[in-house]
Amino acid sequence: MKIGIIGAGHIGSTTARLFVDAGHEVALSNSRGPETLRDLVAELGTSAQAMTPAEAARFGDVVLVAVPLKDYTSLPAGELRGKIVIDAMNYYPGRDGHFAALDSGNTASSELLAAHLQGARVVKAFNTIWFEHLKTRGRKDLPVEQRRVIPISGDDAEAKRIVSALIEAIGFGPYDLGGLHASTRQQPDTPIYNKDVTVEEARGIVTSAG
């Protein structure tokens, strides 16, 4: 599979490495230009290349976005139309400024993203896990229920199936929370955010939280 990545920080670069190791082709991009990614791409090998965000969006069958939420309107909406977009972003008011719709709790940040990316198939994932755990906690040898959890949310069932398969391929366990609005349950300060728990344990935590 071809996977575009917009944002080459901790999560973007770590997922790139994991996806390459799982046999996928990856195009990395950031706001500073492909030339700044030369060393990382060289380290990842021939299955990785550096591009602009628009090029990475066109390249990917699936595109992971991991930029600060305040910059979400800079994402290339036209190039992402029809694509599966993995939203790995989080809302941190201290960094991003305040969004009234998010502060009220009526809207999930992924819903804001989906409204900007008309026609994209948005799936929330990879936003709850510390990048060091993402590097080290994958266990392909374990049953899915016993693996470190990566929650997902989305309104497109087929898109969630594909993202879930990617998560399993790198040794983690997807846990489907429901539609895109349900991604409010995997945001910062929620019971399962940044918790080093299995799928089975996460299911119990979410059920208890109501």
14-70 per-position pLDDT tens digit: 999 999 999 999 999 999 999 999 999 999 999 999 999 999 999 999 999 999 999
92: which 2 tokens?
């941190």
Q: How many CA atoms lie within 13 A of 158 on its CB side?
A: 6
First to last CA, the chain: 37
Question: Residue 120's closest CA among 48, 70, 165, 65?
Answer: 65
Which pLDDT score, from 0 to 100, does residue 74 have? 95
Q: What is the mean pLDDT of residues 175-201?
A: 96
Residue 105 pLDDT exceeds 90? no
Q: For residue 104, what is the DSSP state?
A: T
Please provide the average confidence, as pLDDT, over all residues in the chain.
96
Q: How many CB atoms lie within 10 A of CB 157?
A: 10
Question: Residue 117's closest CA among 93, 86, 95?
Answer: 86
Q: What is the mean pLDDT of residues 99-109?
A: 90
Backbone angles phi, psi at 188, to 5 degrees: -50, 145
Domain ranges of the chain: 2-209
Class level of CATH domain 2-209? alpha beta
The percentage of the chain sitting over the pLDDT mark of 70, rounded to a whole number, equals: 100
Which pLDDT score, from 0 to 100, does residue 210 have? 73
